[in-house]
Structure 1
């Protein structure tokens, strides 16, 4: 029997359920969804098959995005962290394809932020070395696609922002540069840094808004939400990842917020 919540206090809620099955989130109740879904590049998650066909992956993506669309308020925003493309298992235009699927799910497009992780260690293949025969072109960046439900202009909520002048000037530039997160340090196979959701939260929500991460993983979004006086809700099917997220919340991880 699934217990009510894996963890819950006045600022955070962890739901250890399948995002397609949970009934704990009301329709039209979320101000911002910020997430990094599985990339389908054969990452060894405990409770998710990250090696399905690309057609199956796109179908899976359409399903979870439709759920998120229903959970968002009419003025709700959606920050989708995805790769620009991939070559593992075949060359695929992941960023373009998932942006199209998001629009088919009912979202409207606003902008794309390019995240330069400053990490080229992922480069393990060049195709035809020093030859025009069949070289691989790999961009060491990811995307944060910014979408919205019905209206981009936000009029509800407290209308109180906590973003500084320096942060606003830097973060409205669509090229963000900061490092990724360490798998070994966090204990999760694909963590993203708190810096990513923190920027999205401060830029696109007001104080006391509610933020959802449907692929919570190690809990970076919930950590960021607590630091910014927002309510964070995370969903994850794996109990071990829920434990990691709860531990990070209870340890009150240090605040970030680089302006580059």
Structure 2
């Protein structure tokens, strides 16, 4: 990020290593907690430098059942850099009455329940960034609320819980052999919520390029940073495939 101009990025969307010992190809995902928090605070400062004053930083991170505090410890550290404008809970799977939706990852322990969510912290420089809430909104269930409450359209704010399931996969290769991917819909919704046309979007932990694929689909300019050359190659292929798909649709 040192090579990027200050105040040049509209939206930052990223999912850094969680420091939980995930099996990346080259990065060792197990630092001492203090070292990890220092490193991520430095990353936060670098993001604040390149982000426009009215920009948004969507940080996807999670703890584990045995180490639940780390995301919140990081947020305490980043209070010196950002305002926490919104805390979105990304619901990956959910049970409603006797039915279930999404993919449930088993937890083999009698002490813990399944972890079905992750955090998306919406960080801004001043805490006063206006959002296009209805661009990621949902229709009203009770249509009488539209006129009765003076709304201009059949659309209400989605709120701070987003149900975005993964597509079911049966092998790690279907996730591009990366242990920490997220669905394309997640960064796409973050871009829509920020609501700036033709935004410049940065992912400083690009991985296999999901944010850049979403940026291509949303008409944004995507910039990705990644240390692993193999993941960079996968990201390039995915973006090129997204471009071809859009071109064939236009025809």
For 2:186 and 2:218, locate their aligned partners in 1 and report how far apart those are by CA, in whole Å.
Answer: 13
Task: Choose which of 12, 34, 39 in structure 2 pairs with 1:60.
Answer: 39
Pairing 1:30-69 to 2, within 5 Å after superposition: 30-69=9-48
For 1:91 and 1:150, locate their aligned partners in 2 and report how far apart those are by CA, in whole Å.
Answer: 30
Structure 2 residue matching 1:252: 3-state secondary structure: helix
Deviation digits for residues 199-231 of structure 1 (CA, Å, limit 9, x no counterpart): 000111312111100000011111111111111
Taking only aligned residues, the RMSD between alpha carbons, in angstroms, comes to 2.6
Structure 1 residue matching 2:87: 3-state secondary structure: strand
Structure 1 or 2: more helix by fraction: 2
For 2:18 and 2:219, locate their aligned partners in 1 and report how far apart those are by CA, in whole Å.
Answer: 30
Q: Could you tell me which residue of structure 2 aligns to residue 163 of structure 1?
A: 135
Structure 1 residues 171 and 235: CA distance shift in structure 2, 3 A: farther
Pairing 1:103-182 to 2, within 5 Å after superposition: 103-104=79-80, 106-118=81-93, 119-126=103-110, 135-137=111-113, 139-150=115-126, 152-154=128-130, 163=135, 166=138, 169=155, 172-180=158-166, 182=169
Structure 2 residue matching 1:146: 3-state secondary structure: strand
Deviation digits for residues 32-76 of structure 1 (CA, Å, limit 9, x no counterpart): 111111011111212311011212211111111111111101111
Equivalenced residue count is 218
Q: Could you tell me which residue of structure 1 aligns to residue 210 of structure 2?
A: 220
Deviation digits for residues 77-100 of structure 1 (CA, Å, limit 9, x no counterpart): 1111111x324xx53412311211
For 1:252 and 1:38, locate their aligned partners in 2 and report how far apart those are by CA, in whole Å.
Answer: 25
Task: Choose which of 234, 238, 250 in structure 1 pairs with 2:224.
Answer: 234
Q: CA deviation at 1:138?
A: 5.2
Q: Could you tell me which residue of structure 2 aligns to residue 207 of structure 1?
A: 197
Q: Could you tell me which residue of structure 2 aligns to residue 86 of structure 1?
A: 64
Higher-RCO chain (CA-CA 8 Å, sequence separation at least 6): 1
Structure 1 residue matching 2:135: 3-state secondary structure: coil
Return the TM-score normalized by structure 2.
0.78
Q: CA deviation at 1:189?
A: 2.2
Unaligned runs of 5+ in 1: 1-21, 127-134, 256-260
